[in-house]
Amino acid sequence: MHHHLKLHILLIVAAILLLFSLNLLLGSVQIPFRSVWNILLGNEGESVIWQNIIWKSRIPQTVTAMVAGAGLAVSGLQMQTVFHNPLAGPSVLGISSGASMGVAFVILLSGSLGGVALSRVGIIGNVALTFAAIIGSFSIMALIVYVSQKVKGNVTLLIIGVMIGYVSNAIIGVLKFFSLEEDIRAYVIWGLGSFSRVAGEQMYLFIILMAILLPLSFLLVKTLNLLLLGESYARNLGLNIRKARLWVLCSAGILTAIVTAYCGPIVFLGLAVPHLCKALFRTSDHRILMPTSLLMGAALALLCNLIARLPGFEGALPINSVTALIGAPVVVSVLFNKRKGEIQE
C-alpha cells in the first residue's frame, strides 16, 4: 500500500509540474518555449510584451488557479467529513452565496445609487469587490458558526445553511430587478468565476493567506478522523464534538470565503476532488486524504484553467463551465471504474 501511495503522489506532483509549465506555454498569444524559459530566468533580450504576458498575466493566473484549487478541495473534504454527507461541498453552507451577496450589493447598488455603473470604475472596483465578498462570506460564516453551536444535529445545520443560501439568492434577485443592465452583466461575469482577476499586490496577499491557512487546516486531521467514526465513538474517545465542529467549519469556511472573494464562486472542484481521492487511494484516512486532496485540487484547477484558455478561445471561457464539464466526467468515470465491491459509499 505504501509503495502504491508514494507512486500515486509522485504522479500527481508530476502532473502539477507538467500542467504548470503548459499553463505558462499555451495561451491566445503564442510564445516559443525558449523565450518563456529566458523570461522566467530573467534573461534580457526578449520582447517586453511577452515578458508582460508571462509575468503579469500567465504566472499570476496559474499560481492563483493552483492555490484556489487546493483550498477548495481541502475545504470540501472537511465539509464532507463534518456532515457525513458525500454531497456536501464548500458551497453548501451558503458561504459562496454570502460572497455573491456582498458583491451584488456593491455592483448593483452602486449603479442605482450613484448612477454610474461600477463596471466602469476598473481596478478600484476589483478591490472593492474582493472586500465586499470577504465581508459577505464572513458574515454568513459567523451566522453558520453561531447556529452550529446552538443546534445538535448535522442535518439541521445543513438545512439551515441551504436556507441561508436561498435567502441570499432571493436578496440578489431583488437587487438585480432594480439595477442597470450593464451592472447585471458585470455581476453575472463575476459569478462565472475566474482565476485571472487576482493580480499584483492582491495576488501576494491571496497566496500568503492561503499559505498560512492550508497548513493550519492540516492540524485538524486527527479531529476529522475521529469525526468519521460517528459522534458517539468520537465522544467516547474524548472529542468535544461541538468544539471540533466549530474548528472544522471555521477552517473550511475561511478557505472558501477567501477563494470565492478572489476568484468568484468556483463550483464543483471542492465537491469532486475528495471523491476522486477516496476512490484513487481507497482510504478514508485524512492523513492521506488531506495532502492528496490538496495536490489533486491544484492539478484539476490547473487543467481546467488550461482548457479555459486554450488557443482559439479568445479571452478564455468562464472557468465555472469548464470545471463542471471536465470535472464531472472525470469523477463519474473514476467512481464507475472502481469495481462494485470496492465502493461502500
pLDDT-based confidence at residue 120 (cuts at 50, 70, 90): low
Per the model's pLDDT, the better-predicted residue between 3 and 214 turns out to be: 214
pLDDT band of residue 35 (cuts 50, 70, 90) is confident
More confident: 90 or 279: 279
Mean pLDDT of the chain: 84
Q: How confident is the model at residue 107 (pLDDT cuts 50, 70, 90)?
A: confident
**What's the pLDDT at 76?**
93
Locate all alpha helices (DSSP H) within the chain, ordered by sequence.
2-25, 33-41, 48-52, 59-83, 95-104, 110-114, 123-150, 154-177, 181-191, 200-217, 221-228, 231-236, 241-263, 269-281, 286-308, 319-337
Q: For residue 54, name the pLDDT band (cuts at 50, 70, 90).
A: confident
Predicted local distance difference test score (pLDDT) of residue 130 = 81
Q: How confident is the model at residue 145 (pLDDT cuts 50, 70, 90)?
A: confident
From 93, 98, 62, 67, select the one nearest 79 (Cα to Cα).
Answer: 93
Note the pLDDT tens digit of each residue in 199-254.
Answer: 777 888 899 999 999 999 999 999 999 988 888 888 888 888 888 888 998 899 89
- Angle made by CA atoms 300, 79, 275, in degrees to the nearest 5: 40
- Angle, CA of 243, 248 and 252, to the nearest 5°: 150
Number of domains making up the chain: 1
Which region, left, alpha or beta, applies to residue 285 given φ > 0 means left and ψ of -120 to 50 means alpha? beta
d(CA 279, CA 54): 36
Q: What is the mean pLDDT of residues 46-62?
A: 86
What's residue 63's pLDDT? Answer: 93
pLDDT of residue 345: 46
- Looking at the chain, the whole-number percentage of residues with pLDDT higher than 90 is 24
Output the domain CATH number for residue 270: 1.10.3470.10
pLDDT, residue 290, reads: 94
- Read off the pLDDT of residues 291-322 as tens digits, 9 standing for 90 and up: 999 999 999 999 999 888 876 665 567 888 88
Is the confidence at residue 71, as pLDDT, over 90? yes
Q: 3-state class of 153 per DSSP?
A: coil
pTM of the model: 0.87
The pLDDT, as a whole number, for residue 1 is: 60
pLDDT of 129: 81
Could you give the C-alpha distances from 116 to 125, 176, 181, 192, in angstroms and in order? 12, 15, 12, 23
Is the predicted pLDDT of residue 341 greater than 60, yes or no? Answer: no
Whole-number pLDDT of residue 11: 92
pLDDT digits (tens, 9 = 90+) for 244-267: 888 998 899 899 989 998 888 888
The answer to whether residue 116 scores a pLDDT higher than 60 is no
If one compares 97 and 293, the residue with the highest pLDDT of the two is 293
What's the pLDDT at 89? 78
Residue 47, Cβ neighbours under 10 Å: how many? 11
User: Region 70-85: what's the mean pLDDT?
Assistant: 91
Domain hosting 289: range is 2-342
Question: Does residue 160 surpass a pLDDT of 80?
Answer: yes
